[in-house]
């Protein structure tokens, strides 16, 4: 049966988050379609991955027989994350925008799973795995908006997840999520509500489409 790797990185729990309800909508449909499947779940806010260390980094380029005990332990932790990625038939990532970029916890996970010669390089080990990223943001950063060019979430993840890890990448973008909380954005609430509704619908549709793709 199919395996889904589901990663959330929002610091806010449940409905207080803008990305978690959308990843949850995807996962609900996925589990309905794969009742006997496996979901590997990582909540990087509740259980963050340790920052990459010199030992963890250098171990990837050191002969296993010559690694120190510190290198071996650190590399084993990296390998657990790498193997989770490699085992997945599909990947789901909640990546809210914080200060124009991804949460530091998600960056730390990426630092661990990027291993040249295995997950990165000429033949990335997870190449072609479909991945859906829920890139929520408080404002709007599209062409013609006042902050066009301030989005360092999608372009970064396209490079790291798509071009480096070789994942088959797709985005869902709930935007203007600060509108209900910021009086200065009150006139944008209808656009926020439409964006949220569209994101939830997209999540369900993409989960169903991936189910059909993997069954083919």
**pLDDT higher than 90, residue 92:** yes
| Strand residues in 72-198 grouped as ranges (E) | 90-94, 130-134, 168-172
| pLDDT of amino acid 186 | 94
Mean pLDDT of the chain: 95
Burial 91-103 (b: 16+ CB within 10 A, else e): bbbbbbbbeebbb
Instruction: Report whether 97 contacts 153 (CB < 8 A).
Output: yes
Handedness of CA 102, 124, 169, 49 (dihedral sign): negative
The mean per-residue pLDDT over the stretch 23-33 comes to 96
pLDDT digits (tens, 9 = 90+) for 179-192: 999 999 999 999 99
| pLDDT of amino acid 44 | 98
**pLDDT higher than 90, residue 214:** no
pLDDT digits (tens, 9 = 90+) for 96-105: 999 999 999 9
pLDDT digits (tens, 9 = 90+) for 129-157: 999 999 999 999 988 888 889 999 999 99
Residue 155 exposed, middle or buried by CB count within 10 Å (0-12, 13-18, 19+): exposed
- The CA distance from 154 to 134, in Å, is 10
Q: Can you give the length of the chain in residues?
A: 216
Helices 189-215, 20-33: crossing angle, 10 deg rounding: 30
């Amino acid at each position: 049966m199919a395996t889904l790797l589901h990663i959330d990185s929002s610091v806010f729990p449940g409905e207080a988050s803008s990305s978690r309800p959308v990843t949850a909508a995807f996962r609900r449909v996925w589990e309905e379609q794969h009742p006997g499947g496996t979901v590997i779940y990582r909540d990087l806010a509740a259980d963050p991955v340790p920052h990459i260390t010199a030992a963890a980094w250098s171990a990837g380029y050191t002969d296993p027989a010559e690694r120190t005990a510190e290198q071996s332990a650190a590399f084993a932790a990296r390998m657990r994350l790498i193997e989770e990625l490699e085992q997945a038939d599909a990947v789901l990532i909640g990546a809210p925008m914080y200060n124009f970029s991804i949460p530091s916890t998600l960056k730390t996970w990426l630092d661990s799973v990027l291993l040249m010669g295995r997950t990165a390089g000429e033949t990335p080990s997870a190449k072609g795995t479909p991945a859906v990223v829920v890139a929520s943001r408080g404002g709007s950063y599209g062409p013609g908006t006042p902050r066009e060019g301030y989005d360092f979430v999608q372009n970064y993840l396209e490079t790291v997840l798509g071009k480096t890890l070789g994942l088959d990448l797709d985005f869902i973008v709930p935007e203007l999520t600060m509108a209900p909380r910021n009086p200065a954005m009150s006139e944008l609430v209808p656009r926020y509500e439409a964006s949220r509704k569209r994101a939830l619908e997209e999540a369900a549709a993409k989960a169903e489409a991936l189910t059909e793709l993997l069954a083919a």
